[in-house]
Structure 1
Amino acid sequence: MNHTLSRRTALAGLGALGLSPLLPPFAAAAPQPGLEILGAPNGSTVVLAQLLESGALAAAAPGASFRLWRTTDELRAGIVSGKTKLFSTPSHVPANLANRGLPLRMLCLLGMGHLSIITSDDSIQDFRDLAGKPVLGFFRHDMPDLTFRAIAKMEGLDPDKDIQLSYVQTSIEAAHLLAAGRATTAVLSEPPATAAMMMAAKEGRNLRRAFELNTIWGRHKGQARIPMAGIALHASLLDEAPELIAALRAGLPAAKQQVIGNPAAAAKLAESRMEMRAPVFEKALPFLHVDLVSAKAAQAELQEFYQTLLEIEPGALGGKLPSDDFYLDL
Structure 2
Amino acid sequence: MIDRRHLMLSGIAALAVRHALAASPAMTLWGPPAAPSVLLAQAVAAGSIQGQSLDFRVWRSPDEMRAGIAGGTMQAVVVPTYVAANFYNRGAGLRLLNVLTEGLLYVVGTPDAEGVVGLAGRRVAVPFANDMPDLVLRRLLAKAALTPGRDIHLDYVGSPPEAVQLLLAGRVDAALLSEPAASAAILRGGMAGKELVRAVDCRRAWQVATGAASMPQAGLAVMPALADRLGGEGLEALQGALEAALARVKADPAAAGGAAATALELPAPVVGRAIASSNLVALRASAAREALTGFFAALAEDDPRIIGGGQPDAGFYAL
TM bracket (short chain): 0.7 to 0.9
User: Secondary structure, in 3 states, of the residue corresponding to 2:97?
Assistant: strand
Q: 1 CA distance for matches of 2:249 and 2:99? A: 15
Q: 1:165 to 1:37 in 2, by over 3 A?
A: closer
Q: 1 CA distance for matches of 2:63 and 2:166? A: 28
User: Contact (CA 8 Å) 2:34, 2:181: kept in 1 or not?
Assistant: no
Q: Percent identity?
A: 36
User: Secondary structure, in 3 states, of the residue corresponding to 2:301?
Assistant: helix
Q: 2 CA distance for matches of 1:135 and 1:77? A: 28
Q: 2 CA distance for matches of 1:113 and 1:148? A: 12
User: Secondary structure, in 3 states, of the residue corresponding to 1:291?
Assistant: strand
Amino acid at match of 1:46: V
Q: 1:224 to 1:287 in 2, by over 3 A?
A: farther
1:103-133 Cα shifts (integer Å, max 9, x gaps) = 111010001111112112x432221122222
Amino acid at match of 2:205: I
1:159, distance to aligned residue in structure 2 (A): 3.2
User: Secondary structure, in 3 states, of the residue corresponding to 1:176?
Assistant: helix
Q: 1 CA distance for matches of 2:49 and 2:133? A: 37
**1:159: which partner in 2?**
148
**1:36: which partner in 2?**
28
User: Contact (CA 8 Å) 1:200, 1:207: kept in 2 or not?
Assistant: yes
1:289, distance to aligned residue in structure 2 (A): 0.9
- The answer to whether residue 236 in structure 2 is matched with residue 235 in structure 1 is no
**1:110: which partner in 2?**
100
For 1:78-97, what aligned pairs fall within 5 Å after superposition? 78-79=68-69, 82-97=72-87
Q: 2 CA distance for matches of 1:63 and 1:292? A: 21
1:186-209 Cα shifts (integer Å, max 9, x gaps) = 222211211111111111111122
**1:327: which partner in 2?**
317
Instruction: Please say which structure displays the higher CA radius of gyration.
Output: 2
- TM-score with structure 2 setting the length: 0.84
In the alignment, which of 258, 265, 274 is matched to residue 255 of structure 2?
265
1:10-42 Cα shifts (integer Å, max 9, x gaps) = xxxxxxxxxxxxxxxxxxxxx962423322222
1:244, distance to aligned residue in structure 2 (A): 2.0
Amino acid at match of 2:30: L
In the alignment, which of 85, 91, 114 is matched to residue 125 of structure 1?
114
Indicate the larger mover: 236-245 or 198-207. 236-245
**2:192: which partner in 1?**
203
**2:13: which partner in 1?**
none
**1:10: which partner in 2?**
none
Indicate the larger mover: 135-144 or 257-266. 135-144
Q: Which has the higher helix share?
A: 2
User: Contact (CA 8 Å) 1:150, 1:312: kept in 2 or not?
Assistant: no
Amino acid at match of 1:174: A
Q: 2 CA distance for matches of 1:328 and 1:127? A: 35
RMSD, matched Cα: 2.3
For 1:5-154, what aligned pairs fall within 5 Å after superposition? 33-55=25-47, 58-79=48-69, 82-120=72-110, 122-154=111-143
Where does structure 1 differ by over 6 angstroms across 4 or more consecutive aligned residues?
A: none
Q: 1 CA distance for matches of 2:162 and 2:64? A: 22
Q: 1 CA distance for matches of 2:123 and 2:203? A: 21
How many residue pairs are counted as aligned between the two chains? 296
Q: For structure 2, which runs of at least 5 residues remain unmatched after alignment? A: 1-22
Q: 2 CA distance for matches of 1:196 and 1:74? A: 24
1:212, distance to aligned residue in structure 2 (A): 0.4
